[in-house]
Structure 1
Amino acid sequence: MTTGEVREELLPLRVDFDRAWRGYDRAQVQGYVREAETGTRLLAADRDAAVARAEDLARQLEEAREQVRELRAKVDRISGSPVDVEALEERLRRRVELAHRQAEEITARARAAAERTWADADRAAASLREQWERLVGEQHEATRATREEAEAAAREAAEQRRELDEQSALLRAQVESDFTEAMRARRGEALAALARRDAESRAEAERLVAEAAEHAAAIVAEAERRVAELKAGRQRVAEQLLVAQRMLSDAQDELEPLPEEQEPQVPHLVAV
């Protein structure tokens, strides 16, 4: 997958859990965790694509280096051919000297451009790899933390529900025992106390459920914020990969010899 095919956004995280009695529906919590893991796998696939792109840029850089080596060899052949300058006429001597100077300029320019291109490309590739690995690590950590927090919230809600059920059962048994032992005249009072205590128990249960819902909503909001940050970081990495590609293209243009730098045609000398 090329840089232009990078996904614009991850799959949305599902946060609309249905409320069950004294807690969230366990199946929906587990489904949310599975969707978060799917998003992590998508991000890992994007990371692999970016690594492949970096390797392709490295291959292009090696090709540019090979062109520089060929140019150096060509310049060395030109500058290494011995010429008896004293035996030439003045006009030919000037042309040979000019050719030597142009060869030296081409060599210096090629070396400078190659060194600059190598350094820039190496730094860009290393920086992009480091940023991508850091973003993937943060995504894994965010997914792991979200999964652990969701599981902890589910366990806590289940424990609170169990405790409330036990307390309600004990309270009901106690009230029924008191009602049985009480005189008929207190029957109405005992029933009123039972209803009041049951209402208080339900109110307490609803309060605990509301607190658990608020806590879970905060966890989901934080997870969405982290995913949004990672999406923005991924977009920056994709843009920087495009910049690195343009740098390589510009570097190849610099390595092409100018028309005035073409190898001069030295006329053959005719022995007199």
Structure 2
Amino acid sequence: MVPERENAASALNGLLPLRREYTQAWHGFDRNEVRQYLDHVEAQLRRVVSDRDAAVAQTAAVARELESVRQQVGQLEARVEELKKPPERLEDLDERMQRTVTLAQARADEIVKRAEAAAEKTWAGSTEASTKLRERYTRLVTELDKQADLLHSEHENALSETRAEVQRLTVEAAQRRELLDNEAERKRRKLEREFEASQTAQKAALEKHVADQRTASKNQAERRLAEATAEAKRRLDEATGEAKRRLDEATTQAAQRTTAANRKVERLAEIREQARKSLAAAEDILNRSETQLATLPEEAVIPQASRLVGGDSPAESPTTPAAPVVPVVQPTPAKPSGATKASAPVPVKQAPPVKQAPPVKQPPAAAKQAPAAAKPGNNAPAKQHGPATKPVNGNGNGAAKPLTPAAGKPSS
């Protein structure tokens, strides 16, 4: 593009200024008028050249704008690449986002191609106009050369034609310049609108994608929270039911054990009451026996004691030992506990045996009356209310073994 402009400028510099020397003759035109005409034509040509240079400059400006648009497109492509960078992989983007990026790239390529085509078209138009102007200039120069030869006959026609042509070229150049300006402005605005629309669409798509991602993340978080809450509630209900069941079992077992312990305590209380009554009866019998033994005469005690222990008559047994004191078993009070053990019986100390005096020989009649005299009151032995005794051996000799009541065993 630049070499063509340099060639056009060198060609114009070779043509200008126009040749002003003519062969003098006696019969011809006025040299001042010819010079004025040539100056006028040269001025017109200079204006045409300046218009041509302005069009070339405008074309260069359009080319610079095209380059700027290309740079902007490059920046936009870099921006699109930056926008595509946050996801690590392209597969992470959804299908619609990939399609949007592809469409944006295709649209940017289309815009670049259209801008290049418009610039090429504008440059071709400018080159064509310059070529036409150059051809026209050449034609004018040729016509001027012809008019120089035929100046007398064609002066007015050439002047009018040249003026009309220059005027037409000026109008056409102005119109062409205005058209180029309008076209460039229209294309610039169109590019701006398309770029803004593309940016708006991309921004809306990105915002919608971000909103969808946020909504999906929020829904997923709420769903997971609800699942965790339900799981925690279920486990809490299971733990509560298990704890309640174990508490009920422990309460039932405690109630059963308490009932069994109460029964054992009641049984032990009954046994203690029975033992107390037995002990009181034994003490009563012992006291009465001691009282009766103390009030009886010595001769009456011996047969009575012999009769109590089941021995022989006084006549047959010259030496009969005194009846031993019956030991009374006194059970200890039962302790109110679930595992109470019966205490060992505590025997009462026996009184020392009474030494029997040697028997006195009596006549048979007195001997027969002795047993009857030994009976106090109704002459009958005292009825025993205490525990019975039995002889140790068959002949009645030896100490009597008391029949103690069996100690109450605590119920298990």
TM-score by length of 1: 0.58
May I ask how many residue pairs the two structures share in their alignment? 187
Which residue pairs with 1:34 in the alignment? 46
Q: 2:62 aligns with which of 35, 50, 74?
A: 50
SS at match of 1:75: coil
Query: Do the aligned residues in 2 keep the contact of 1:142 with 1:226 (CA within 8 Å)?
Result: no
Query: Residue in 2 aligned with 1:123?
Result: 113
The 1:40/1:22 distance shift into structure 2, 3 A limit, reads closer
Cα separation, partners in 2 of 1:105 and 1:211, compared to 1, 3 Å: closer
Give the aligned partner of residue 72 of structure 2: 60
Contact kept, 8 Å, 2:73 with 2:112, in 1: the verdict is: no
The separation in 2 between residues aligned to 1:72 and 1:22, in whole angstroms, is 73
The residue correspondences of 1:128-143 to structure 2 (distance < 5 A) are: 128-143=118-133
After superposition, the Cα gap between the structure-2 partners of 1:108 and 1:131, relative to the gap in structure 1 and judged at 3 Å, is same
Q: Check conservation: 2:48, 2:170, Cα contact below 8 A.
A: no
Q: Is the 8 A contact 1:47 1:132 kept in 2?
A: yes
Q: Is the 8 A contact 2:66 2:115 kept in 1?
A: yes
Q: How does 1:144-223 map to 2 (within 5 A)?
A: 144-161=134-151, 205=152, 208-223=154-169
AA aligned to 1:69 is E
**Highest relative contact order (Cα 8 Å, sep 6+), 1 or 2?**
1
Contact 1:43 1:136 in 2 (8 A): yes
2:250 is matched with: none
Structure 1 residue 258 displacement after superposition = 4.2
| Greater radius of gyration (CA) | 2
Contact 1:33 1:147 in 2 (8 A): yes
Shift of 1:68: 2.4
Rate the CA distance shift 1:21–1:69 in 2: closer, same or farther, 3 A. Answer: closer
2: CA distance, partners of 1:152 / 1:30: 14
Q: Contact 1:121–1:248 (CA<8 Å) still a contact in 2?
A: no
Q: Aligned pair 1:253/2:215, yes or no?
A: no
In structure 1, give the amino acid aligned to 2:199: Q
1:111 counterpart residue number: 102
Residue in 1 that maps onto 2:281: none
Q: What amino acid sits opposite 2:197 in the alignment? A: D
For 1:226 and 1:123, locate their aligned partners in 2 and report how far apart those are by CA, in whole Å.
Answer: 29
For structure 2, which runs of at least 5 residues remain unmatched after alignment?
1-30, 226-412
Structure-2 change in CA distance of 1:47 and 1:134 (3 Å) = same
Task: For 1:24 and 1:114, locate their aligned partners in 2 and report how far apart those are by CA, in whole Å.
Answer: 62
Q: CA deviation at 1:241?
A: 2.5
Q: Say what the alpha-carbon RMSD is for the aligned residues.
A: 3.2
Question: 1:136, CA displacement in angstroms?
Answer: 1.1
Q: Secondary structure at the match of 1:157?
A: helix
Any conservation in 1 of the 2:59–2:126 contact (CA below 8 Å)?
Answer: yes
Distance 1:78 1:239 in 2: 37
Using a 3 Å threshold, how does the CA distance of structure 1 residues 214 and 79 change in structure 2: closer, same or farther? closer
List gaps (5 residues or longer) in structure 1. 1-18, 81-99, 162-204
Q: 1:220-262: CA deviations, max 9, x gaps? A: 2442353245224412233223212221222122222443311
In the aligned structure 1, how far is the partner of 2:154 from the partner of 2:70?
Answer: 58
- SS across alignment from 2:165: helix
Q: Which one-letter code corresponds to 1:255 in the other structure?
A: Q
- Secondary structure of 1:216's counterpart equals helix
Deviation at 1:23, TM superposition (A): 8.4
More helix by percentage = 1
Separation (CA, whole Å) in 2 of partners of 1:124 and 1:238:
15
